[in-house]
Structure 1
Amino acid sequence: MADNKKKTGASDRRTVAKGEKYEVAYFARKHGITAQQTRDLIDKVGNDREKLNKAAEKLKGKKPAKKAKKPAAKKAKKPAAKKAKKSAAKKARK
């Protein structure tokens, strides 16, 4: 059933209307979950915003960890001749 936009009091703020895309989208964005996950939560715990907030935090905590970044490519080693020149130059400066 559609949300009555004329009733915007406290009772309206305590719930999330599953049938209203903008409410579902806002709740999903706020908690970093998908709209479908939000709808599933509403089915599971009801439309009470306080209960949904707690359930969303639990759900968010259960997300799989992001893949670890690949290690950066190793820098190419300088040829031994260049190393020898640099170390000789350092010794000459001293």
Structure 2
Amino acid sequence: MADDKNTSGLPDRNRISLSEDYEVRDWTKSLGVTEDELRAAIDAVGNNADKVRDHLKAG
């Protein structure tokens, strides 16, 4: 489901959406990973940003 650009809040900031190009770009830059690494992390632990960060640190 696409993000509603008219609303924002904590739940949206805690999730990583691979369907939005700008989010993929921003998260890969923020986390210092490639798109493939980001996708693999999300496949492994889901799209919760904290869980993705922990997974990438551990891996």
For normalisation by structure 1, the TM-score amounts to: 0.56
Structure 1 unmatched ranges of 5 or more:
60-94
Q: Write the distance in 2 (CA, Å) between the matches of 1:24 and 1:58.
A: 21
Higher alpha-carbon Rg: 1
Q: Work out the percentage of aligned pairs sharing the same amino acid.
A: 34
Q: CA RMSD in A?
A: 1.3
Structure number with greater CO (CA < 8 Å, separation at least 6) is 2
TM-superposed CA distance for 1:2, in Å, is 1.7
Query: Partner letter of residue 46 of structure 2?
Result: G
Moved over 4 A (4+): none
Are the equivalent residues in 2 in contact too, given 1:2–1:20 (CA < 8 A)? yes
Query: In the alignment, does 2:38 pair up with 1:38?
Result: yes
For normalisation by structure 2, the TM-score amounts to: 0.82
Q: Write the distance in 2 (CA, Å) between the matches of 1:38 and 1:22.
A: 14
Q: Which structure shows the higher helix fraction? A: 2
Query: In the alignment, does 2:25 pair up with 1:25?
Result: yes
